[in-house]
């Protein structure tokens, strides 16, 4: 019997509203220093290190609203699953160009897949979310597919 009901499968294709962010040289420099970057182009703020995008689109919330792992509350993109223990299942990124000061970027998150597998200790549900980051003019910057595994 499948744990993925018709209601859960109906969430496929669900998108969050696009999030827009402007990239500044100062933000790149602060991030680069804070993360111990060694390449001068990052330290000077001429280009952002790849992981810069990880936090760029996260909402800024009061500390008391952060989850136990320091992240903002879940966005609700992935529906509540019948299996409650969630772990990271990996990410795959495809880069089309770098991130530079003055870029105005737009992030679009979409739930692109939900599927089940039988694990050694029972059923698993995989949720795959795609994050498409483009410039405001539609030029692709990066596509990331992240997998969450519920058990």
- What backbone torsions phi and psi does residue 150 show, to the nearest 5 degrees? -105, 135
Judged against a pLDDT cut of 80, whether residue 1 lies above it is answered with no
Judged against a pLDDT cut of 70, whether residue 7 lies above it is answered with yes
| Average pLDDT over every residue of 102-108 | 98
Q: For residue 134, tell me if it sits in a domain.
A: yes
**Model pLDDT, residue 113:** 97
Q: For residue 35, tell me if it sits in a domain.
A: yes
| Span 20-31, pLDDT tens digits | 999 999 999 999
Q: For residue 1, tell me if it sits in a domain.
A: no
| Span 128-145, pLDDT tens digits | 999 999 999 999 999 999
User: Rg for the chain (alpha carbons), in Å?
Assistant: 18
| Average pLDDT over every residue of 6-12 | 94
Q: In the structure encoding, which two tokens stand for residue 88, read together?
A: 């990271």
Q: For residue 130, tell me if it sits in a domain.
A: yes
End-to-end CA distance of the chain: 16
* CATH number of the domain to which 141 belongs: 3.10.129.10
Q: In the structure encoding, which two tokens stand for residue 119, read together?
A: 């694990």
Range of the domain at 26: 6-150
Percent of the chain with pLDDT over 90: 75
Judged against a pLDDT cut of 70, whether residue 105 lies above it is answered with yes
Judged against a pLDDT cut of 70, whether residue 72 lies above it is answered with no
Q: In the structure encoding, which two tokens stand for residue 90, read together?
A: 């990996």
In the chain, the number of structural domains is: 1
């Amino acid at each position: 019997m499948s744990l993925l009901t018709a209601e859960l499968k109906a969430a496929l294709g669900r998108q969050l509203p696009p999030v827009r962010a402007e990239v500044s040289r100062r933000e790149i420099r602060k991030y680069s220093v804070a993360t111990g970057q060694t390449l001068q182009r990052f330290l000077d703020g001429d280009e952002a290190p790849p992981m810069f995008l990880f936090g760029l689109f996260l909402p800024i919330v009061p500390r008391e609203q952060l989850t136990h792992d320091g992240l903002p509350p879940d966005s609700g993109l992935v529906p509540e699953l019948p299996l409650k223990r969630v772990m990271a299942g990996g990410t795959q990124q495809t880069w089309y160009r770098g991130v530079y000061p003055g870029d105005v970027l737009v992030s679009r998150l979409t739930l692109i897949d939900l599927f089940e597998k039988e694990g050694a200790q029972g059923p698993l549900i995989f949720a795959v979310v795609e994050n498409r980051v483009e410039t405001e003019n539609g030029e692709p910057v990066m596509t990331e597919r992240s997998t969450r595994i519920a058990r």
